[in-house]
Chains A and B, each alone.
Chain A
Amino acid sequence: MELTVRELSKHYKDKKAVDGVSLRLTEGINGLLGANGAGKTTLMRMLCGILKPTAGSVALDGVDVSNEDYRAVLGYLPQDFGYYPDFTGLDFLLYLAALKGLSRPHAKRKSAELLELVGLADVGKKKIRTYSGGMRQRLGIAQALLNDPRLLIVDEPTAGLDPKERVRFRNLLADLGHDSIVLLSTHIVSDVEHIADHMLMMSEGHIILDEPWDKSRTDLEQLYLEEFGGEGE
């Protein structure tokens, strides 16, 4: 499987959020590092078909991002997401499952399975507004997995999580990298240093690093600072 990005750009009136990005991503964990405002979120949104690019193209094994079939195998966890206030965790999953076109029996089974996987099985029937930030993030990852995605795009998933939950997330994502393409954006080096198979760095709309990554390396922080010349976090 290959996600092919060609000369992708998003220009606004006053700035170039993403400028001429070209990538080839395959199965495994692909880390995307960059400071806030580097264009990571804009890039990810275009990879999800949520934002229309100003130029360039995105395709998964030849299927263009605008095609329904692309989104059918896509799982996305945005940086911030809302929820209808009266929803319980389970309602939320079932609602999105319906939008993902899953049949009702399958949706129910999958939702139960995922709630179990992310450790929310006993609060699935409680309203989301009673969940902590960490619990909401876990619910977010659950919804991203509803349709057994082959392409999983995760934007700053560990923001607001305590260290224990961070580890839990990392392990979960590492597992998923085996037969899906996972793109994980973060500004926290430790999130990706030991689980990524491929490392990307982004700054001001450009990709400044794009290379395979050896999980035993411990110099990511250093590399990051070097590339960003001290501007990063």
Chain B
Amino acid sequence: MALDIEEQYERIYRYCYFRLRDRHWAEDVTQETFLRWLSSDTYRDTGQTLQYLYTIARNLCIDEGRKPHSEPLPEDMPAEPDDPLLSLALRSELDGLPPEDRELVLLRVVNEVPVGVLCRLYGVSRFALYRRLRGILKRLRQRLEG
């Protein structure tokens, strides 16, 4: 199954936006990610594509974060929820999570990144990843249900 590249662009962008909190910056980094991927020899091997894309994006975001900027990167989740009631409890719980956990939720649940890719990205075992994810999701579900 060929990867839907346009969909992946949206997802990588969402990831970059999560980390950089600025839509233009996020899009620049997204495009840079894809450019690097397109010019590399490995772009045809769709088995490794996601791995490649997320690795590049993550490294670029880290590099960008290190650059001397005027504002520090924001820590909180963005405003503008669609359903205020739904998101309020969830948002406070998400805010309470360490950023790495928030990132994990974004990648696994929202971006639907396969577990294998995440394991390689973070350098953890499947077991560790599942356990951590389960814990986070359990807490989030509890807060959602009130």
Contact = CB atoms under 8 A, between A and B. Distances in A.
| A, B from the same assembly | yes
Interface string A90-105: 0000000000000111
A105 B7 CA distance: 10
Interface in B34-76: none
A109 B5 CA distance: 12
Interface string A106-119: 10010000000000
Interface string B1-45: 011111100000000000000000000000000000000000000
Contacts of A105: 2, 4, 7
A106 B4 CA distance: 7
Contacts of B5: 103, 106
Interface in A31-57: none
Chain A, interface size category, equals: under 10
Contacts of B4: 103, 105-106
Interface in A98-144: 103-106, 109
A105 B8 CA distance: 12
A220 B7 CA distance: 47
Interface in A174-204: none
Nearest to B7: A105
Contacts of B7: 105
Nearest to B2: A103
A105 B6 CA distance: 9
A151 B101 CA distance: 47
Interface in A53-104: 103-104
B6 A109 contact: yes
A104 B6 contact: no
A209 B85 CA distance: 69
A30 B3 CA distance: 37
Contacts of B3: 103
A103 B4 CA distance: 8
B91 to A, nearest CB: 33
Contacts of A104: 2
A6 to B, nearest CB: 30
Kindly list the 5 A-B residue pairs having the minimum CB-CB distance in the complex, ordered from nearest. A103-B2, A105-B4, A104-B2, A105-B2, A106-B6
Interface of A: 103-106, 109
